[in-house]
Amino acid sequence: MTSSTSFTFRDNLLYSIWDKVRSGERLSKEDALALYASDDLIGVGRMANEVARAKSGDSVYFVLNRKLEPTNICVLSCKFCDFAVKPDSPEAYEMTIAEMLSKLRPDLHEVHITGGLHPKWPWEFYIDMVRTIKTQFPNVDVKAFTAVEIDYFSKKFKKSHEQVLRELQEAGLRTMPGGGAEVFSERVRKELFKQKIGAKTWFDVHKTAHRLGIQSNVTMLYGHIETIEERVEHMLRVRECQDETNGFLSFIPLAFQPGNTGIKTRNDFTSAIDDLKTIAVSRLMLDNVPHIKAYWVMLTAEVATIALNFGADDMDGTVGEERIAHDAGAISPMELAKGKLISIIHDAGKLPVERDIWYNPITIYPKPEWSVVSKMPYLNSVPFYNSFPDYSTVVKLVPLAPRVFGKLAEQGSVAAGPMSLRDYMTMSDDFERLDYGVAVKGKANSVLLFSKFDWAELAGKRICISAETSTSVELLRVLLEKRFGISDYLFHRYDKSNPSHSYKDYDAVLLIGDEALQKAYGGGLTGFDKVFDLAEEWCTWKGMPFVFAVWVIRKVTPETARKEIVESLERSLTNSADHFGEFGREHGAKVGMSEAEVSDYLSQFRYRFSIDEHAAMAEFEMEYESLTSNDRIAMSDKRIAKQSISF
């Protein structure tokens, strides 16, 4: 991250660490040990909170989820596990698929399945479990089976890790939990769980999953016999793997619950200070992992609340039964209702964001006095946000891709942000336009049609549309129909939850934002040898800039919030004017761009609008309104997500 925020620390050693963090330099093992050794807990927490804000704004995510533990019968006997029993134990249980289904509800968004390594269940039972859940509850995404379970299936059913994962994915598995990682230390493994897989196998399984498009989490079980150095080494290994695969969604520090395990720890439970410091150090060390989870079931709701200001940006979910932690003596309530979760997040001064399994926002729950600002998560929008206040009592930032911003704005829960032009055209009664936005005259480099054919040959062809587009898809339609006279094309919305969905099956693919940039600067999209920059096509045709997004503010926004938003925006643009490379460096690195490339890329955009941009918006609106297919499309997101649409 690049931050101008200055802190005063009680511990002088933290100054040099903060300098590194805010200039985007990676922290070393020694830095992590110094953070752990520091008694300036508040200083460590403030740094971590600043890093979390740079990634997630003021958002704290939660998911409506349910945990299922289909059996507690396990072939292993890990020392720290109070959950597993042998088949002859009076406490042993095995759930049928019907019992599992009876615990789910259609309004859930995630089911989290882990359990014992059952000695007798056949492979077909697991496939049937995932497939039946997905079929009966299409809205519920399946996050299932730790690396330990995947490796067990692989050995028991004589299939490779890849084969196991592919078959589960085909049945409906979407992501994997991060359990079984414990602490990546051979010393600890030999002492506590020597029959269980080690770090190498754990990473092999997760790397294979990431390669197949199955993203996952990673946990760290701390507070038992591990040393601080072993915790730091664990984080470093996670960071290294993430550099390679970019497949981890979140890092979850899990405080050890000694219960009846018989394991001697320094204290019965980890201290709140240790818990908070571990969350903060994780956030500071894992610069490439998007989210850090405060797992309230083990931390207690009270410590989890404070952790939301120490670098955590995820509260997990409504959860339901949680036998593993509970049997080992977790003192949190078995179920926190959604309302309770929301009030905990509000108490932390943060914005509750209900999410899906991939962290896409579904609904946000601001306090009535808050005005929510959309933080566009693309490189081209970096210059807008550097001077919004660190903490505001009236304005809260949430990262939203254009299409999601449009949907939430329709729900009435977002007050301002760079809205896609197409959404503004339908919501101008509620929103007022500001003289800011994202426009370009010429190439944009981030709204690209990768094609196997020339424009004139796209008649009757199948075009895949990135899930995030809003205005860009309309620009493509205008170009196809009005500029090139093609009306019989087929649009398909890309569905990343469908493993059989692949770009290569299409004749052309429209990508926007960071994904487009990644391909543009990374050698293109394999199999598509033609690349059309839609903004350039528009400019060549009309001699005008193209406006992708326009800053809007809801007309009823209270004056205090309106003033703060407009002044912050103006200050941000002034600050970043000659520093595009510096402000966009970290974001650019994620998409493979050098600082100089970022600087060139951002310099081409027009962020302050003049008469040129207003004329361009009017021109586009006129072309869009006269599209012959408008009456058939109406571009309902529901419709487009459900089916392919032919024109």
Sequence length of the chain is 647
Contact between 74 and ligand SF4 per CB under 6 A: yes
Q: How far apart are the C-alpha atoms of 138 and 140, rounded to whole Å?
A: 6
Give whichever of 81 and 348 is closer to ligand SF4, judged by the CB atom.
81
In the chain, the amino acid numbered 230 is E
Among 27, 54, 63, 78, interactor with ligand SF4 by CB under 6 A: 78
Among 33, 42, 76, 566, interactor with ligand SF4 by CB under 6 A: 76
Q: Stretches 34-42, 78-86, 129-137, 439-447: which one binds ligand SF4 (CB under 6 A)?
A: 78-86
In the chain, the amino acid numbered 137 is F
Give whichever of 77 and 102 is closer to ligand SF4, judged by the CB atom.
77
Q: Identify the helix (H) or strand (E) that includes residue 321.
A: none
Please count the residues of this chain forming the interface with ligand SF4, following the rule CB under 6 A. Answer: 11
**Shortest Cβ 328–ligand SF4 spacing (Å):** 10
- Cβ density class 408-428: b for 16+ within 10 Å, e for less: bbeeebbbbbbbbbbbbbeee
**Shortest Cβ 487–ligand SF4 spacing (Å):** 58
Contact between 260 and ligand SF4 per CB under 6 A: no
Q: Stretches 70-78, 291-299, 374-382, 456-464: which one binds ligand SF4 (CB under 6 A)?
A: 70-78
Given CA atoms 222, 223, 224, 227 in this order, what sign does their dihedral have? positive
Contact between 117 and ligand SF4 per CB under 6 A: yes
Q: Stretches 80-88, 89-97, 239-247, 559-567: which one binds ligand SF4 (CB under 6 A)?
A: 80-88
Give whichever of 70 and 584 is closer to ligand SF4, judged by the CB atom.
70
String of contacts with ligand SF4 for each residue 168-207, x by CB under 6 A? ----------------------------x-----------
Q: Stretches 71-79, 216-224, 413-421, 547-555: which one binds ligand SF4 (CB under 6 A)?
A: 71-79
* C-alpha dist (Å) from residue 640 to 362, 480, 492, 617: 17, 18, 7, 25
Enumerate residues 6+ apart whose C-beta is below 8 A from 49. Answer: 309, 310, 311
**Shortest Cβ 315–ligand SF4 spacing (Å):** 24
Residue 64 burial (10 A CB sphere; 0-12, 13-18, 19+): buried
Give whichever of 81 and 113 is closer to ligand SF4, judged by the CB atom.
81
Contact between 84 and ligand SF4 per CB under 6 A: yes
State both tokens at 50: 């600043």
User: 133: left (phi > 0), else alpha (psi -120 to 50), else beta?
Assistant: alpha
Q: How far apart are the C-alpha atoms of 596 and 135, rounded to whole Å?
A: 49
Enumerate residues 6+ apart whose C-beta is below 8 A from 272. Answer: 303, 306
Contact between 116 and ligand SF4 per CB under 6 A: yes
**Shortest Cβ 327–ligand SF4 spacing (Å):** 10
Q: Are 498 and 524 in contact (CB under 8 A)?
A: no
Give whichever of 150 and 434 is closer to ligand SF4, judged by the CB atom.
150
**Shortest Cβ 78–ligand SF4 spacing (Å):** 3
**Shortest Cβ 149–ligand SF4 spacing (Å):** 8
Contact between 144 and ligand SF4 per CB under 6 A: no
Give whichever of 32 and 147 is closer to ligand SF4, judged by the CB atom.
147
Q: How far apart are the C-alpha atoms of 235 and 476, rounded to whole Å?
A: 44
Query: Phi/psi at 73 (nearest 5 deg)?
Result: -80, 130
Among 23, 77, 246, 502, interactor with ligand SF4 by CB under 6 A: 77
Q: Stretches 77-85, 156-164, 329-337, 372-380: which one binds ligand SF4 (CB under 6 A)?
A: 77-85
Could you tell me how far CA 390 lies from the centroid of its own chain? Answer: 22
Contact between 89 and ligand SF4 per CB under 6 A: no
Q: Stretches 76-84, 162-170, 353-361, 616-624: which one binds ligand SF4 (CB under 6 A)?
A: 76-84
Contact between 81 and ligand SF4 per CB under 6 A: yes
Q: Identify the helix (H) or strand (E) that includes residue 148.
A: helix 147-156
Enumerate residues 6+ apart whose C-beta is below 8 A from 191. Answer: 79, 225
- Strands 361-364 and 351-355, bridge-based pairing: antiparallel
Give whichever of 74 and 479 is closer to ligand SF4, judged by the CB atom.
74
Given CA atoms 312, 385, 249, 132 in this order, what sign does their dihedral have? positive
Contact between 70 and ligand SF4 per CB under 6 A: no
Q: Which residues bind ligand SF4 (CB under 6 A)?
A: 74, 76-78, 81, 83-84, 116-117, 148, 196
